[in-house]
Structure 1
Amino acid sequence: MAEFLYSSMAASASIDSGSGGRVVFSFDRGLTRNIAVFLAVLLLVFSAYLIFAGNGGETSRTPIFLRDVSGFSAGEKEALLEVAYAAVDDFYAGRRRSDFDPSFGGVGNEVYVVFRLDGRRWGAGRASCGNLAESVYNAAYRILDEKSCDGTLTCYGGRSLKDADFQAEVFILDRGFEVSDVNIFRVKKSGMHGLEYEPGVHAIRIIHGAGNATYLDDVLIQGDVEPERMVERLCGSLGLDGFCANTPGVVVRLHRSTHFMKLERDGRVLDVFRGNIVTDELPRLRDVNESFNAMSGWISANLNDEGFFNYLYFLGSGSYSTSNNMIRQLMASRFLAELAGEDEAYLDLHRRNLEYVFENWYLRDGDFGYIYFSDKSKLGATAMALRTLAYSPLLDEYGVEAGCLANTLIGLQNEDGSFKAWMIEPDYAYDEDYLLTFYSGEAILALTEYYGRTGDERFLDAALKSQNYYLVEYVDRLGENYYPAYVPWHTMSLYRLYQITGNESYVDAVFILNDELLKIQQTEKPEFIDVWGRFFNPRYPQYGYPHSSSTGVYLEGVTYAYELARERNDTARMKTYGESVRLASLNIINLQFDSENTYYLNRPERVLGAIRVGVAQNSIRVDTTQHSADAFKRILTVFTEEEFSAQTPG
Structure 2
Amino acid sequence: MDSSFHIDDAALAELLKQAFSGTDRTSVPVTCVGSTYVALRRQGVLLRDYWLDNGELFSALSSTIIPVLSQPDFKGVNTIEMCLTHDYHRVTLPEFKSKFPNTKIGIRGIKLQYESHVALYSPTQMIACNLTFQQVFESFLELVSISAQAFEENGGIIESFEAKQVLISLNHSPKVAIVYRGNQIVPLETMSYQTILDMALSMGEWLLRMCAEDGRLIDKYLPSQGKESNRYNITRQFMATLCLIRYAKFTGQPAHLALADRNLNYNLTQYEHQGKAKLGAAAIAAIAIMEHPDGDRYREIFQRLCQEIEALWQPDRSLGTSQEFPKRKQQNLYPGLTLLFRASLYKANRDRQILEQCCRSFLYDREWHWANPHPAFIPWYSEACALLFDETGYRMFRNFVFEMNDWLLPMQQWDNQQYVDARGRFYDPTQPEYGLPNAAATGSYLQSLVNAYRLAVQNDETERARAYKLAIWRGLRSIRQLQFKDDVDMFYIRERAKVEGAVRRTVYDNTIRLDNVQQSLMAILKLCHLPEFTN
TM-score by length of 1: 0.76
Counterpart for residue 91 of structure 2: 179
Give the letter aligned to residue 609 of structure 1.
Answer: G
- The alignment status of 1:535 with 2:426, answered yes or no, reads yes
Structure 2 residue runs without a partner (length 5+): none
Summarize the alignment of residues 379-458 of structure 1 with structure 2, pairs less than 5 Å apart.
379-419=279-319, 431-458=326-353
- The alignment status of 1:274 with 2:198, answered yes or no, reads no
Deviation, 1:142, is 7.8
Q: Size of the alignment, in residue pairs?
A: 529
Give the letter aligned to residue 511 of structure 2.
Answer: S
- The alignment status of 1:322 with 2:230, answered yes or no, reads yes
CA separation of 1:453 and 1:246: change in aligned 2, threshold 3 A = farther
- The alignment status of 1:103 with 2:13, answered yes or no, reads no
With 121-130 and 444-453 compared, the bigger mean Cα shift is at 121-130
Equivalent of residue 253 in structure 1, options 153, 159, 175:
159
Counterpart for residue 241 of structure 1: 146
Equivalent of residue 583 in structure 1, options 467, 470, 474:
474
- The alignment status of 1:76 with 2:12, answered yes or no, reads yes
Counterpart for residue 27 of structure 1: none
Deviation, 1:599, is 2.0
What is the distance in 2 between the residues matched to 1:241 and 1:606?
39
What is the distance in 2 between the residues matched to 1:600 and 1:105?
27
What is the distance in 1 between the residues matched to 2:498 and 2:87?
38
Summarize the alignment of residues 635-650 of structure 1 with structure 2, pairs less than 5 Å apart.
635-640=527-532, 642-643=534-535
Equivalent of residue 125 in structure 1, options 46, 50, 67:
50
Deviation, 1:455, is 3.8
Counterpart for residue 134 of structure 1: 59
Deviation, 1:386, is 0.6
CA separation of 1:72 and 1:125: change in aligned 2, threshold 3 A = farther
Matched residue of 1:174: which SS? strand
Matched residue of 1:331: which SS? helix
Deviation, 1:84, is 4.9
Equivalent of residue 334 in structure 1, options 235, 242, 248:
242
Matched residue of 2:529: which SS? helix
Counterpart for residue 349 of structure 1: 259
Deviation, 1:109, is 3.9
Counterpart for residue 393 of structure 2: 502
Note the alpha carbon deviations across 1:337-381, whole angstroms, 9 max, x for none: 22334522312212212222233322xxxxxxxxx64x7432111
Deviation, 1:420, is 5.9
TM-score by length of 2: 0.91
CA separation of 1:266 and 1:337: change in aligned 2, threshold 3 A = same
Matched residue of 2:48: which SS? strand
What is the distance in 2 between the residues matched to 1:178 and 1:143?
34
What is the distance in 2 between the residues matched to 1:525 and 1:419?
36
- The alignment status of 1:522 with 2:432, answered yes or no, reads no
CA separation of 1:505 and 1:486: change in aligned 2, threshold 3 A = same
What is the distance in 2 between the residues matched to 1:300 and 1:224?
25
Deviation, 1:409, is 1.8
CA separation of 1:241 and 1:185: change in aligned 2, threshold 3 A = farther
Counterpart for residue 461 of structure 2: 570
Give the letter aligned to residue 409 of structure 2.
Answer: L
CA separation of 1:246 and 1:512: change in aligned 2, threshold 3 A = farther
Deviation, 1:639, is 4.2
Deviation, 1:242, is 5.3
What is the distance in 1 between the residues matched to 2:427 and 2:132?
20
Give the letter aligned to residue 307 of structure 1.
Answer: G
Contact residue 69 and residue 77 of structure 2 kept, 8 A: no
What is the distance in 1 between the residues matched to 2:63 and 2:161?
21
CA separation of 1:251 and 1:175: change in aligned 2, threshold 3 A = same
Q: How much identity, in percent, do the aligned residues show?
A: 23
Contact residue 414 and residue 420 of structure 1 kept, 8 A: no
- The root-mean-square deviation of aligned C-alpha atoms, in Å, is 2.8
Give the letter aligned to residue 303 of structure 1.
Answer: C
Equivalent of residue 263 in structure 1, options 152, 161, 169:
169
Deviation, 1:433, is 4.7
Higher relative contact order (CA 8 A, sep 6+): 2
- The alignment status of 1:298 with 2:206, answered yes or no, reads yes
Give the letter aligned to residue 391 of structure 2.
Answer: I
CA separation of 1:463 and 1:574: change in aligned 2, threshold 3 A = same
Give the letter aligned to residue 241 of structure 1.
Answer: I
- The alignment status of 1:221 with 2:146, answered yes or no, reads no
Contact residue 18 and residue 25 of structure 2 kept, 8 A: no
Structure whose residues are more often helix by fraction: 2
Give the letter aligned to residue 260 of structure 2.
Answer: H
Note the alpha carbon deviations across 1:275-326, whole angstroms, 9 max, x for none: 3333224311110010110001111111111212111111121111111101
What is the distance in 1 between the residues matched to 2:136 and 2:21?
30
Counterpart for residue 467 of structure 1: 362
Matched residue of 1:228: which SS? helix
What is the distance in 2 between the residues matched to 1:129 and 1:103?
17
